[in-house]
Structure 1
Amino acid sequence: MEQKMFCYQCQETAGCKGCTMVGVCGKKPDVAAMQDLLMYVTKGLSAVTTALRGEGKTVSAEINHLITLNLFTTITNANFDRESIEARIRATLDAKSELLGRLADGAALPEAALWDGSGDWQAKAKTVGVLSTQNEDIRSLRELITYGLKGLSAYSKHANALLQDDGEVDSFLQRALAATLDDTLSADDLVALVMETGKYGVQGMALLDKANTAAYGNPEITRVNLGVRNNPGILVSGHDLRDLEMLLEQTQGTGVDVYTHSEMLPAHYYPAFKKYPNFVGNYGNAWWKQKEEFEAFHGPILMTTNCIVPPRDSYKDRLYTTGAAGYPGCTHIPGGIGEKKDFSALIEQAKTCPPPKELESGEIVGGFAHAQVMALADQVVAAVKGGAIRKFVVMAGCDGRAKSREYYTEFARALPKDTVILTAGCAKYKYNKLPLGEIGGIPRVLDAGQCNDSYSLAVIALKLKEAFGLDDINDLPIVYDIAWYEQKAVIVLLALLYLGVRNIHLGPTLPAFLSPNVANVLVEKFGIAGIGTVEEDMELFFGPQA
């Protein structure tokens, strides 16, 4: 049977090989083709901007933001709307045409930089997708870099929304994208670029951390309500804190409550958001449960970024998108960087809806980003030196639908009572509501925030290394058992590798885009491994179990 598409950028990819007829995420072949074409023209534009910088010419912030948003648009579960993707292709072609006119010497530019958009786009897309790179190892390395850059684009986009930019990160992202078109680069060259991607991943994470904390303060230990009130509500999912801030400002005095969902939960940890009396709590769980949870919520839902599950008709008219997100038939709220978005449509619709159906009650505790954990450093170090805490277990990353992910719930349950989980990302929903207790007043699940906040886990590890006077980060009492799903998890992995972290266990499966040879490099150089059974991994990490 002839394949209609090819995509293997996420963990759920069909058969751990690739989606060829329709995406497991719900992405249709025509949308997949336009995403491939958007990546192609974005790489072409990046080749032009890189050449311009080589001639000592400047590239505007608007072009940097265009490229960043293009990449973010193609992240798993972000945008299913073919028309909006085609509009981005046209905007990119227009920008590229203008910049080509500024370039003194374009002789070395690749074909992607010169293509003017003529001809049949669907036919063109078939020639420029992932499989257009014939050599399996070169393809694997190019995609590893590209997916890392997509993750990096997410950090940059959220920082840009808060008017923070890093020209070095933008320049590197574009140079690396252009390099994936360069057939003269060897596998060794690309491996070096993989590590450089990790370096700039750390820098991009630091930029977003600075942007978030400058705007909203350092996250602090917070008890988050899981119940509901008897008012109509708006549910906010995704990752963009600036979108949430604008919505909270516009809902004041309207009688409409605002709840977070999935990756937006950590917004409650920031001091700046605590001033809003209608910011009620968190509703539901990880992204993949949204069909049932969005139906039960009754009010409008705002998707600020990726993690869209194709909606049921029962709530499709209540699902709104903004930023990089999009879904056909759902209203998109426009607004660029520095612009005020108008959320009045959601607010007016919310007023006509019944209050949310209560799914659960009680509270969960979070807010353990690096500043808060460092405030507890003496207590933490004393607990380790005194034997109360034997090890920390980094269980960051993503959640997902696969039954195999129940491993992470059972692993958390089975952990020795003298261990503490460090987490960030929606992977926490596998265990953040388990009664795991505390150690000397320190909760056994320390939630640093969104997947975007994984920087905190790196900072915590580096600070603990300093506190214990160690020379090697791998001598810390920390083990890494990370779940992955999409491209932000890829940049987190590359950032950890750049920082020298070894022996990371990755699951529930290793990425399909790693060829056997590339996977072997990661295993031999960095000790990357998959997960086993809970029993096997308990013995591996903690020795024979009683």
Structure 2
Amino acid sequence: MFCNQCEQTSRGVACTIAGVCGKKADTAAMQDLLLHALKDLSTYVIKARENGLVVDKGVGRFTAEALFATLTNVNFDPARLQEYIIKCQQIKIELKEGLDKAGYQVTKVGFEPIGTLEEMIQRGEQKGYLVDLDQNEDIRSLQEILVHGLKGVAAYAHHAAILGREDDRLYRFFYEALAATNDRDKDLSFWLDMVLKCGEINLLAMEMLDDGNTSYFGHPVPTSVPLGHKAGKSILVSGHDLYDLKLLLEATQGTGINIYTHGEMLPAHGYPELKKYPHFYGHFGTAWQNQKQEFAEFPGPILMTTNCLLEPKDSYFNSIFTTGPVAWPGVQHLTNSNFGMLIDKALSMPGFSEDSDRGSVMVGFARNAVLSVADKIIEMVKNGEVRHFFLVGGCDGARSSRSYYTDFVKNTPQDTLVLTLGCGKFRFFDQKLGSIQEIPRLLDLGQCNDAYSAIQIALALANAFDCGVNDLPLSLVLSWFEQKAVSILLSLLYLGIKDIRLGPTLPAFISPGVLDVLVKNFDIKPISSVDADLAAILG
């Protein structure tokens, strides 16, 4: 086992016995085997296309979902991963047969992932980590960044495809990048270009997902979300999938069950086509790493739509359900949006016995909402009422040093605005920072993929001030944890955005040489102390 893809990786190097996330060695072996299978599949897809064969988009959708299944805190079930590997092999066989029928002789590529689950686990252990760790340190580092970035792109591509948004450019890049991995004929310049291209492709994926979300659910509007609860039966929805939430809201109409969000589902309350349901009530809990305590306290079942899943405690093991690519051995998995078992479970559980008022937070400040008052914001900047903008967001996690982000936001001056997104917001989402000319100082842009909204806001402001994004009074202070954060960072670098502060630690897979390139070309830097960073930013 060798896994270094998340921020909490063991000793800041890699998990080699078991994952800090709860991933066991057999799961890691199956994830490795799946990645090798996808690399082989990609080679066949490229050969098929080179020879004029049409490859169905379904292969791209499968590739995105399978990559997503290897992302941190998504799929912990070796048997479910086996299903992906078997399907991957089936697609590969079909492609080879198509090439044979067309008269193209193709040398067999890769391995045959067949046998029992135990045999596949052994094969995965033999194949090991997808990236060759024995090659040049900087090339290896760039390949790791690329593979981890691909997983982030795949997550957004998967969600976008569910909403009918697809683009063959994404799928082609998956194939190109996976097939090229470990190609020793490629030099450092090639891999640097591939990493930045991954950022470009991720920007496209986020744009597609944004279009899908806003077309299906409307553009978010500023909305007050209760943090308390009301008496009655209840279901808690965690993860990121708005479409699953929409279907659940439809399925629970008239049942007397109230629906609550957890984690990154909080921004769902700002979408008009979701907030219109009267039983879509409020938000319960905070970020993913606190779920073991928060899920145990919730008096109804939990639906986990995407990451981040942690090993369920016995107290709620029988009342948590997964869907999509998410899985844990023994946890009930729902398919085809059939929520019958989930609803039955909610009706059998006690629910909340009484109303509780725990205050509220505001969501819904995506690009349309912010840009609708752009003239006012621009005027406030010009007359000195707003001195600086901060984008403070990204992933949350368990490391105690993440309190930096709480303290940073608390200490931002009153003449600054703080934009946030992702689950990193839960370090300060309930802070009362006040407002400037009736515009809240804390503006929640949405989920991590709503980095697209943040980018559009920055571009619009740069256009209004007739300058580049790097010339704006804007600073990015980001927290990372898993691979979606990697893909977003690559998008920012692709756009040429500089002077990003990143924490709480730098990724284990970034070599000193690659870090030097990032520092020299993009002035990327680790966070230090709140006082020092604020002083450096504001002067």
Partner letter of residue 373 of structure 1? V
| 1:507 is aligned to 2:503 | yes
Partner letter of residue 223 of structure 2? T
- SS of 1:243's partner is helix
Q: Give the Cα–Cα distance (whole angstroms) in 1 for the partners of residues 427 and 368 of structure 2.
A: 25
Task: Name the residue aligned to 1:338.
Answer: none
Q: Does the 8 Å contact 1:296/1:356 carry over to 2?
A: no
Q: Does the 8 Å contact 1:502/1:527 carry over to 2?
A: yes
- SS of 2:316's partner is helix
Q: Call closer, same or farther: CA 1:412–1:360 in 2, change over 3 Å.
A: farther
Task: Name the residue aligned to 2:134.
Answer: 134
CA shift, 1:122, in A, is: 3.0
Q: Give the Cα–Cα distance (whole angstroms) in 1 for the partners of residues 35 and 105 of structure 2.
A: 22
Q: Tell me which of 441, 444, 455 is aligned to 1:444.
A: 441
Q: Give the Cα–Cα distance (whole angstroms) in 1 for the partners of residues 133 and 10 of structure 2.
A: 20
Partner letter of residue 60 of structure 1? D
Q: Tell me which of 454, 458, 473 is aligned to 2:455.
A: 458
Q: Give the Cα–Cα distance (whole angstroms) in 2 for the partners of residues 105 and 514 of structure 1.
A: 44
Deviations 1:271-302 (A, max 9, x none): 00122111001111011111111111121100
Deviations 1:520-545 (A, max 9, x none): 111111111111011211111112xx
Q: Does the 8 Å contact 2:61/2:158 carry over to 1?
A: yes
Query: TM-score under structure 1 normalisation?
Result: 0.95
Q: Give the Cα–Cα distance (whole angstroms) in 1 for the partners of residues 403 and 112 of structure 2.
A: 48
Q: Does the 8 Å contact 1:299/1:318 carry over to 2?
A: yes
Q: Please say which of residues 114-123 and 413-422 is displaced more in the overlay.
A: 114-123
Task: Name the residue aligned to 1:243.
Answer: 244
Q: Does the 8 Å contact 1:229/1:355 carry over to 2?
A: no
Q: Does the 8 Å contact 1:393/1:480 carry over to 2?
A: yes
- SS of 1:230's partner is coil
Q: Does the 8 Å contact 1:396/1:454 carry over to 2?
A: no
Q: Does the 8 Å contact 1:389/1:419 carry over to 2?
A: yes
Q: Tell me which of 397, 403, 411 is aligned to 2:394.
A: 397
Q: Kindly report which structure 2 residues correspond to 1:142-541, keeping only aligned pairs within 5 A, or say none.
A: 142-335=143-336, 341-356=337-352, 361-470=358-467, 472-541=468-537
Task: Name the residue aligned to 2:22.
Answer: 26
Q: Give the Cα–Cα distance (whole angstroms) in 2 for the partners of residues 367 and 458 of structure 1.
A: 16
> In percent, how many aligned pairs have the same letter?
44
CA shift, 1:359, in A, is: 8.0
Partner letter of residue 91 of structure 2? A
CA shift, 1:416, in A, is: 1.3
Deviations 1:98-122 (A, max 9, x none): 112223688887x7x4312247433
Q: Give the Cα–Cα distance (whole angstroms) in 1 for the partners of residues 419 and 356 of structure 2.
A: 26
Q: Give the Cα–Cα distance (whole angstroms) in 2 for the partners of residues 469 and 356 of structure 1.
A: 53
Task: Name the residue aligned to 2:123.
Answer: 124
- SS of 2:350's partner is coil
Q: Please say which of residues 222-231 and 166-175 is displaced more in the overlay.
A: 166-175
Deviations 1:158-180 (A, max 9, x none): 11111221111111222122121
Q: Please say which of residues 356-365 and 482-491 is displaced more in the overlay.
A: 356-365
CA shift, 1:424, in A, is: 1.1
Deviations 1:458-515 (A, max 9, x none): 1111011001111x21001101110000011011100011111011111000100111
Q: Call closer, same or farther: CA 1:122–1:210 in 2, change over 3 Å.
A: same
Q: Give the Cα–Cα distance (whole angstroms) in 2 for the partners of residues 43 and 462 of structure 1.
A: 36
Q: Does the 8 Å contact 1:17/1:512 carry over to 2?
A: yes
Q: Give the Cα–Cα distance (whole angstroms) in 1 for the partners of residues 328 and 279 of structure 2.
A: 28
Deviations 1:215-237 (A, max 9, x none): 01111111111110101100000
Deviations 1:183-212 (A, max 9, x none): 211111000101111111111111001011
Q: Call closer, same or farther: CA 1:494–1:106 in 2, change over 3 Å.
A: farther
Q: Does the 8 Å contact 2:2/2:128 carry over to 1?
A: no
CA shift, 1:131, in A, is: 5.8
Q: Tell me which of 35, 41, 48 is aligned to 1:45.
A: 41
Query: How many equivalent residue pairs?
Result: 531
Q: Give the Cα–Cα distance (whole angstroms) in 2 for the partners of residues 521 and 106 of structure 1.
A: 43
- SS of 1:11's partner is coil
Q: Does the 8 Å contact 1:219/1:270 carry over to 2?
A: yes
Q: Call closer, same or farther: CA 1:151–1:278 in 2, change over 3 Å.
A: same
Partner letter of residue 129 of structure 2? G
CA shift, 1:56, in A, is: 2.7
CA shift, 1:360, in A, is: 6.4
Partner letter of residue 147 of structure 2? T
CA shift, 1:241, in A, is: 0.8
Task: Name the residue aligned to 1:58.
Answer: 54
Q: Does the 8 Å contact 2:131/2:143 carry over to 1?
A: no
CA shift, 1:130, in A, is: 4.4
User: Where does the alignment leave 5 or more consecutive residues of structure 1 unmatched?
Assistant: 336-340
Query: TM-score under structure 2 normalisation?
Result: 0.96
- SS of 2:59's partner is helix
Deviations 1:414-441 (A, max 9, x none): 1111111111100000111112111111
Q: Give the Cα–Cα distance (whole angstroms) in 2 for the partners of residues 210 and 194 of structure 1.
A: 25
